[in-house]
Amino acid sequence: MAAGITEHDCPYSNDGPCGVQPGVDYNVFSDPLGSRSSQRKLRVTVTLPAHPAEVIPVAGQISRTCPYPVVFFFSGFLLKPAYYSAYANRLASWGYAVVQYDTGRWPILNDRQELPYFQLLTNWLKEQPELTSLVDTDNIGVAGHSRGAKLAALHFASGNPAVKAAFLVDPVDNTRETPEGPDYPSAAKALQVAGRPVAMCGASIITGCNPAGSNWQHFWPAVAHDSWLLEVNGASHNTFLRASWLVEKALDLLCKRGPTSHEDTIALAMPAMTAWMDKELRGLNSISQAEDQQRQSTESAGLLKTFYKWVQLQVELKTVAFTVKGQEPQLNTS
């Protein structure tokens, strides 16, 4: 890992206090649109905390007991959920139940066909006797990478009251191959209408994999005030995932990998993801320095304070740029 990424550490840059159970795979048969094109055997992976935690090594206490908030993590186009296991494990270690699924590769689903799987799987969670007491399906976050980030944004903007947070990893909206229309709605436009803050993590290297006019630069003007943007310097679109050596090399060639490694890119993205989910799903929602100073005795202030200091150090080290919408250019945590 590059020097400086954990030089000024914060709890969110490490695994949390809950441990992680190995992900459990389920087969879920579905036909949400009632047509042959939408019939699928979904491979669903649920990653849970190993145990609850009442106290973590920051001033004060916070309950990370079940039922756990649920985070759906959507994979990039034709990419496997396993490529994002680092994100699932990190969230589970902080007391979240993480749901991922794989629709298979053929026939390819458009957005309209895939979007109904979210509610189908939410209902499925409620019906599983081994899961129902462990998950809080009224307190859901969504996250994803690339096209998966677009799906997360569409779910967040849908008006579903259970979906309360969104973290978008180098999102990609409509492209030449997927022009805006009934089958491919624009997530940026949906977010603009919704008027809710999100957090985004973007690559500084722009290529055909995250093209201009579709990438995080396209999303940022559409999101609401108080949204976060973490731009990882030297990262390209594919360095936000880990796969086999062969797959990574192929993606590196396709997406023109930059100088920041897969490991370092993910290490820089995950603290922001975890902090945002805690902020939005667990009410750690103080963002201003003045409010933090008023709440220094609480753990919520302490946790966010360490994150802000960590991210400010990364800004100074030029590993990232960090912006809060409405507080441009950068959040000052001094």
Q: pLDDT of 30-74, one tens digit each?
A: 765 555 555 678 899 999 999 876 545 443 446 688 899 999 999
Arithmetic mean of pLDDT, 300-314: 84
Nearest to 274, CA basis, from 73, 54, 8:
73
State residue 287's pLDDT score: 42
State residue 36's pLDDT score: 56
Arithmetic mean of pLDDT, 153-158: 97
State residue 296's pLDDT score: 36
Q: Is it the case that residue 88 has pLDDT exceeding 70?
A: yes
Q: Is it the case that residue 157 has pLDDT exceeding 90?
A: yes
Q: Is it the case that residue 107 has pLDDT exceeding 80?
A: no
**Model confidence over 246-275: pLDDT tens digits?**
999 999 888 888 899 999 999 999 999 999
State residue 282's pLDDT score: 87
Can you tell me the distance from the alpha carbon of 63 to that of 65, in angstroms, rounded to the nearest whole number?
6
Give the pTM.
0.88
Query: Is it true that the peptide bond before 107 is cis, omega within 30 degrees of 0?
Result: yes
Q: Phi and psi dihedrals of 97, rounded to 5?
A: -95, 120
Give CA 23 to chain center in angstroms.
18
* Residue pointed to by tokens 């990893």: 169
Residue 297 burial (CB < 10 Å; 0-12/13-18/19+)? exposed
Q: Phi and psi dihedrals of 41, rounded to 5?
A: -100, 105
Can you tell me the distance from the alpha carbon of 313 to that of 4, in angstroms, rounded to the nearest whole number?
8
pLDDT band at 294 (very low <50, low <70, confident <90, very high): very low
From 20-29, 211-220, 223-232, the region with the lowest mean pLDDT: 20-29
Name beta bridge partners: 41.
Answer: 29
Residue 64 burial (CB < 10 Å; 0-12/13-18/19+)? buried
Q: Is it the case that residue 299 has pLDDT exceeding 60?
A: no
**Which 3 state secondary structure label does DSSP give 279?**
helix
Q: Is it the case that residue 289 has pLDDT exceeding 50?
A: no
State residue 178's pLDDT score: 93
Average pLDDT, the chain: 86
State residue 59's pLDDT score: 37
Can you tell me the distance from the alpha carbon of 110 to that of 63, in angstroms, rounded to the nearest whole number?
39
State residue 24's pLDDT score: 84
State residue 26's pLDDT score: 85
